[in-house]
Copies of this chain bind each other. A is one copy, B any other.
Amino acid sequence: MKSSSNILSLKSHLEAICGKENVFTTEEVLKAYGSDHTEDLSFPPQILVKPGSTEEVSAILSLSYEVEVPVTPIGALTGLSGGALSVKGGIGLSLERMNKILKIDTNNMQVTTQPAVITQLLQEEVAKYGLYYAPDPASRGTCSIGGNLAENSGGPRALKYGVTKDFVLNLEVVLPNGEIIQTGANTLKNSTGYNLTQLLVGSEGTLGVITKAVLKLLPLPKHNLLMLVPFSSAFKACEAVAAIFNAGITPSALEFMERDAIDWTLDFVDSPPQLEIKEHHQAHLLIEVDGNDQEVLFKDCEKISEVVQRYEADEVMFADSEAQKEALWFLRRRVGEAVKANSIYKEEDTVVPRFELPKLLEGVKRIGEKYGFKSVCYGHAGDGNLHINIVKADMTDQQWSEELPKGIRELFQLTVDLGGTISGEHGIGYVQKGYMDIPFSKVELELMKKIKKVFDPKGLLNPGKIWE
């Protein structure tokens, strides 16, 4: 961390670039930009700046590069891995003023957007033209496209439509030294040079600052149906997941919730939906199908109903109005918050090939018993992405800080052994960086670190992330 006087000497330069009203040094503001949705971390920047254009971002990075001050790009601060926290101090670069949708190109089914546009807003705007942007993190009402790009966010629709990376055609990026590049072209196909676009997506703001994105859109599906399926065994619920796909159906969402996740969320939210949850229901699958033909969707639902019966499902509940659908999705989206409100927690974002999900769940519980932790699991079962919320409950502080990391290590090792990896959609950021030796060999990590050095030879952009 640079000394405060050094940093503050930059203030007038930053003000000259962005205007006095966009540079902040008060403790209150800095503190607000030092936390996201990851546990209770707090790493405020030493100075906060809010550029309004690519040129301003470029000028800030030229300056910080010259004087060798760290810069941390900041999106909507909804991240779950601490990726946007200024862990080395320096300049906090909030993109929040770059919040315009620049062009909705209906002819080419593309949208060009600045990074700070809220994901749900972008979805709603393109929907007005019958177009669909599918990536759909639980935080879609508050997270921004730039953050989604940085972390390669997913969400419940990824199993059918893919994650953020699958919707990115081209990026405008400011490099750590202030140079501006385009990563690709606005085309669906591209075999021209190395895929810088995909290298930037998911690089967690460590290679460059994304200032503009061209995203692919799809025709908006006309209909969807939603069903909630209770199971008397969480493992059977997980087993049913692969069976649904193997029956030839690709749902547009297939979410898994353990009993505690549902119970805690029903307690947590105001006016919860009326659900008939029985004593023996240990888990639920929330299953959505979408498409343009209602009849086909009904047939799909019938088929799904048949499949889940083979896994000891109880009676399937269909959402038979838009309001009911909304209530169920609202419930699902609030699970994370509800669990977090219940206890001190750590959330892991494990992902495995979907058929391995029951083995992962079994392992989570087994490892939990061994290390004395309780977990509440939920997530995007359709793509094998299980969010494991480890709750502190009655663990001692010593168990929490000394034993738990060993348990997490064992859990991540299991995930990798099952063909999976340690983050499906949250990124490594700050909190998972101590575990990168599990999915990657030294050679692989060394390659990534050298790529980082190509983009950022001085190591100034979002330092202290991804690796120790």
Contacts and interface: CB of A to CB of B under 8 A. Distances in A.
Interface of A: 105-110, 130, 151-154, 158-159, 162-163, 165-166, 175, 179, 181-196, 198-199, 201-203, 207, 218-219, 222, 242, 245-246, 248-250, 292-293, 295-296, 299, 349, 351-356, 380, 383-385, 416, 419-428, 436, 439-441, 443-445, 447-448, 450-452, 454-455, 466
Most chain B CB inside 10 Å of its own CB: which residue of A420, A436, A439, A444: A444
Contact of A188 (B107, B219, B383, B439): B383
A185 B448 contact: no
A351 B299 CA distance: 39
Contacts of A436: 192-193
A130 B248 contact: yes
Given A194-B199, A451-B194, A466-B193, A187 B420 contact: yes
Contact of A191 (B152, B187, B245, B293): B152
A106 B426 CA distance: 28
Contacts of A421: 184-185, 187, 190, 192
Contacts of A426: 191
Contact of A448 (B130, B151, B196): B196
A351 B163 contact: no
A198 B195 CA distance: 7
B219 A250 contact: yes
Contacts of A296: 292-293, 296
B181 A219 contact: no
7 contacts: A185-B421, A185-B439, A187-B383, A192-B436, A194-B202, A195-B198, A296-B296
Identical chains bound together, number:
2
A79 to B, nearest CB: 11
A347 B299 CA distance: 47
A228 to B, nearest CB: 23
B175 A188 contact: no
B202 A195 contact: yes
A419 B185 contact: yes
A287 to B, nearest CB: 16
Contact of A187 (B184, B194, B353): B353
Given A441-B181, A448-B194, A451-B194, A419 B202 contact: no
Contacts of A108: 242, 353-356, 419
Nearest to A218: B250
Contacts of A445: 193
A100 to B, nearest CB: 19
A162 to B, nearest CB: 8
B191 A423 contact: yes
A191 B420 contact: no
B105 A353 contact: yes
B166 A166 contact: yes
Most chain B CB inside 10 Å of its own CB: which residue of A299, A436, A451: A451
Closest 10 CB pairs of A and B: A198-B198, A107-B355, A185-B421, A108-B353, A186-B419, A189-B424, A188-B383, A450-B454, A191-B423, A192-B421
A419 B188 CA distance: 11
A246 B107 contact: yes
A191 to B, nearest CB: 5
Contacts of A166: 162, 166
A354 B216 CA distance: 12
A196 B130 contact: no
Nearest to A197: B198
Contact of A444 (B162, B182, B219, B420): B182
B194 A203 contact: yes
A416 B451 contact: no
Given A296-B292, A354-B108, A425-B189, A219 B248 contact: yes
A423 to B, nearest CB: 5
A381 B84 CA distance: 41
A73 B447 CA distance: 21
Most chain B CB inside 10 Å of its own CB: which residue of A106, A151, A351: A351
Contact of A443 (B130, B179, B190): B179
B190 A245 contact: no
